[in-house]
Amino acid sequence: MILKPVYIVFGVSGSGKTTIGNVLAKELDIPFFDADDFHPQSNIQKMSDGYSLDDNDRTPWLSILTDQIKNWHQDKGAVLACSALKIKYREKLESFNSDLIHWIFLDGDYDLILSRLKERKGHFFQSELLTSQFDVLEKPTKGISIKVNQSTTHMVTEIKSKLNVQKSQIGLFGLGVMGKSLAKNILSNNFSLSVYNRHIKEKEVDVAKNFADELTVKPKPFDDLQLFVESLQQPRIIMLMISAGPVIDQVVKDLLPFLNTGDCILDGGNSHYKDTIRREKLLSIEGISFLGVGISGGEEGALKGPSIMPGGTRKGYEQCSNFLEAIAAKDKGNKACCSYIGSEGSGHFVKMIHNGIEYGEMQLLAEIYHLLRHYLEKKPSEIEKIFTSWRTRNKDSYLLEITTDILLKKEGSGYLIDKILDKADQKGTGSWSSISALKTGVPFSTISEAVMVRFLSAKKDERIKASNIYNYEISISSENKAFLLKQLEEAYYAASIINHAIGFDSLKQTSLEYDWNLNLSEIARIWTNGCIIRSDLMEKMAVLLSNDNDTSVLLFPEIVDTMNSHISKLTFVVSNGLQIGCALPVLSAASNYFLNYTSAQMSANMIQAQRDYFGAHKYQRIDKKEGEYFHTDWKN
């Protein structure tokens, strides 16, 4: 059983024990008791008759109180107002468990307390007995002392600060890499914080305590769930920083018995938006807000300011907005890269699409690196120079920046990148975004292709086998090499624009499906800093979309100008790259998407004819009204 602390406010009569004890108990959300209420009748009578109590009188009273204290430890804890003037009385009161008793001495001089007592009415203690109380009082050797010549609020605040029992504004659950970084960020923004990490024998022991010990500004550490929840100000804000999946349901279930109506749980992981929709509905029945909070920026972002995408009820968001906006990255205008996304699981949906765009951008850079390294035979340091030059020409991005760092990383005399196994892992968000696009019917070419490439990369053994079986001759003239090299920068930029257009298009379409009313320019704005896909291009997106939330990205006049001058470079790189045997799946997907998107005539007339041929699925005609369907007997 977990024992709770008991706070004993003590001092002579008239020092304010009942007033202070009551307010303190209310703020700590635990019961208040007055020791005078536990006196045997004989003691009350004696005091009313004007006699002071002797030690014999106090013995049964102290025994009653000691028993009560034991019960309170086992229940919710308590605040007790008690004179406890002598050390031996105090020793008796703490005899069950002295570690769990907090002594709070109310220290006032005789004249002040006498004047207070004279103003009191209806109290059985007579002010004349004050002198004897001061004679008996043995000043405390432990606990804290509070001067009584201050306001009640001031005294209670001082008590809480001296005892370190102030309730925390925020609770953070889960101290993995991201959780720890976010906790430091929250503390550096001057929020009081409680942190929780589970206890697993021999595996996760004292994680929260050890973390707090490392820091100068410390959070309150817990490995007991109830105490963690009780350490938080109400209504509570609890941020979960744990892996996505069924574990979130389990944690919510474990937390629920300790929560109250109005509390708010934030899921800061990469949960599937449909799980978030379900959890939000379930918790709203209990009167608890559940926000699905997409957080991007990795470990460094969590520490210095991530991009934050919160979805759920607006009321829930408003409860947490000043905290979330304080810890978020800031855009160029110093506005927080955090904004209310919309209802239900929209925050996690937007984070999922962020990750989809991230997959596309990563693969684009990987493909271009691969082409340069293995087909145009450039050294990593030469590729770094090429990429760095792009950064200076309005194509800077966080992903381009880290790619240049990666290219320069050496291990011994060689480059580390050359030693990394070419099998890409994934945690799920890229695949989820593709599945969701398939379900909604959104063309998702670059992103789903980037997911497929990761899957194909995992078939390493089979690829090695196939590479030994197939032997195709590949050559490229040095003039062609030089020409290909020249087209790369613009080809990359065009593909990147297409990848972004695809991501924003899926936001727009899903927003309509769920009635989320997503503000695309605001989403682009909160993606301009803190997150993995922050870039010069994202800055441009935010501006373009702020003028028009509805137009497709590829139809903005400024983008049309860029694409008109860049598309031939993209198609040249793709066709020549393929010709020399270099797979360029996302560059190709981008080209094909764009060529089809900009075609008044696609190949789908043939698909419709084929469907009608074998399945009588019918087709529409260009020479008839839209919506009118026809079937042909194709064999006769």
By CB under 6 A, residue 448 contacts ligand 6PG: no
CB of 324 to ligand 6PG, least distance (A): 16
Q: Smallest gap, in angstroms, from Cβ of residue 307 to ligand 6PG?
A: 8
The sign of the dihedral angle between the CA atoms of 618, 624, 626, 627 is negative
Q: Which of 270, 289, 339, 397 binds ligand 6PG (CB under 6 A)?
A: 270
Q: For ligand 6PG, which is the closer residue by CB, 14 or 530?
A: 530
Q: Is 429 in the site for ligand 6PG (CB under 6 A)?
A: yes
Q: How far is the CB of 311 from ligand 6PG (least distance, A)?
A: 15
245 binds ligand 6PG (CB under 6 A): no
Q: Which residues contact 336 (CB under 8 A, 6 or more apart)?
A: 308, 324, 325, 326, 328, 329, 330, 526
Please, which residue, 429 or 510, has the CB nearer to ligand 6PG? 429
By the rule CB under 6 A, 240 interacts with ligand 6PG: no
Q: Collapse the DSSP code of 297 into the 3-class scheme (helix H, G, I; strand E, B; otherwise coil) and give the result.
A: coil
Q: Which residues inside 539-598 make contact with ligand 6PG, applying CB under 6 A?
A: none
Site for ligand 6PG in 291-310 (CB under 6 A): 296-298
Task: Map 350-381 to HEC letters.
Answer: HHHHHHHHHHHHHHHHHHHHHHHHHHCCCCHH
* Closest CB 534 distance from ligand 6PG, rounded Å: 10
| Residue among 59, 28, 31 at smallest CA distance from 43 | 59
Residue 219 or 297: the one with the smaller Cβ distance to ligand 6PG is: 297
Reference 123, options 60, 32, 44, 24; nearest CA is 44
Which residue's CB atom is positioned nearest to ligand 6PG? 296
Instruction: Return the SS3 of 75.
Output: coil
- The single residue among 21, 430, 530, 585 that binds ligand 6PG, judged by CB under 6 A, is 430
Core vs surface per residue 587-607: b (16+ CB within 10 A) or e: bbbbbbbbeebeeeeeeeeee
263 near ligand 6PG, rule: CB under 6 A: no
Amino acid at 189: N
* Residue 187 vs 293, nearer CB to ligand 6PG: 293
> d(Cα 312, Cα 292) in Å, to the nearest integer?
6
As measured in angstroms, the least distance from the Cβ of 183 to ligand 6PG is: 17
Q: In angstroms, give the least distance from the CB of 409 to ligand 6PG.
A: 19
Is there binding between residue 426 and ligand 6PG (CB under 6 A)? yes
CB of 269 to ligand 6PG, least distance (A): 9
Pairing mode, strands 410-411 and 414-415: antiparallel
The alpha-helical segments, DSSP class H, found in 286-420 are 298-304, 314-327, 346-370, 380-390, 398-408
Q: Sheet with 289-296: list strands edge to edge.
A: 220-222, 193-196, 170-173, 237-240, 264-267, 289-296, 307-311
Q: Which stretch binds ligand 6PG (CB under 6 A): 315-323, 425-433, 539-547, 573-581?
A: 425-433
Active site residues: 351, 358
Q: Which of 212, 259, 532, 587 binds ligand 6PG (CB under 6 A)?
A: 532
Tell me how far the alpha carbon of residue 243 is from its chain's centroid.
Answer: 11
Quote the least distance from Cβ 267 to ligand 6PG, whole Å.
Answer: 13
Shortest distance, position 545 Cβ to ligand 6PG, whole Å: 20
Beta bridge partners of 311: 292, 342
What is the C-alpha separation between 431 and 356, in angstroms, rounded? 8
Name the segment binding ligand 6PG (CB under 6 A); options: 102-110, 128-136, 139-147, 424-432.
424-432
Among residue numbers 12 through 71, which ones bind ligand 6PG (CB under 6 A)? none
- Considering beta carbons, is residue 263 or 267 the nearer one to ligand 6PG? 267
Residue type, 351: K
Say how many residues touch ligand 6PG, by CB under 6 A. Answer: 13
Q: Rounded to an integer, what distance in angstroms lies between the CA atom of residue 326 and that of residue 371? A: 43
Distance, CA of 43 to CA of 61 (rounded, Å):
9
What residue type is assigned to position 128 of the chain? E
**One of 118, 427, 617, 631 touching ligand 6PG (CB under 6 A):** 427
Does 355 contact ligand 6PG by CB under 6 A?
yes
Distance of CA 329 to the CA centre of its chain: 13
Q: For residues 354 and 569, which CB has a smaller minimum distance to ligand 6PG in the complex?
A: 354
- CB closer to ligand 6PG, 128 vs 300: 300
Establish if 380 lies at the interface with ligand 6PG (CB under 6 A). Answer: no
Shortest CB 362 distance to ligand 6PG, Å: 8
Closer to ligand 6PG at the Cβ: 358 or 505? 358
13 vs 397 by CB, closer to ligand 6PG: 397
Per DSSP bridges, beta strands 289-296 and 307-311 are: antiparallel
CB 545 within 8 A of CB 521: yes
Q: Is 531 in the site for ligand 6PG (CB under 6 A)?
A: yes
Phi, psi of 123 (to 5 degrees): -110, 135
Measured from the CB atom, the residue of 410 and 427 that comes closer to ligand 6PG is 427
Binding site for ligand 6PG (CB under 6 A): 270, 296-298, 355, 358, 425-427, 429-430, 531-532
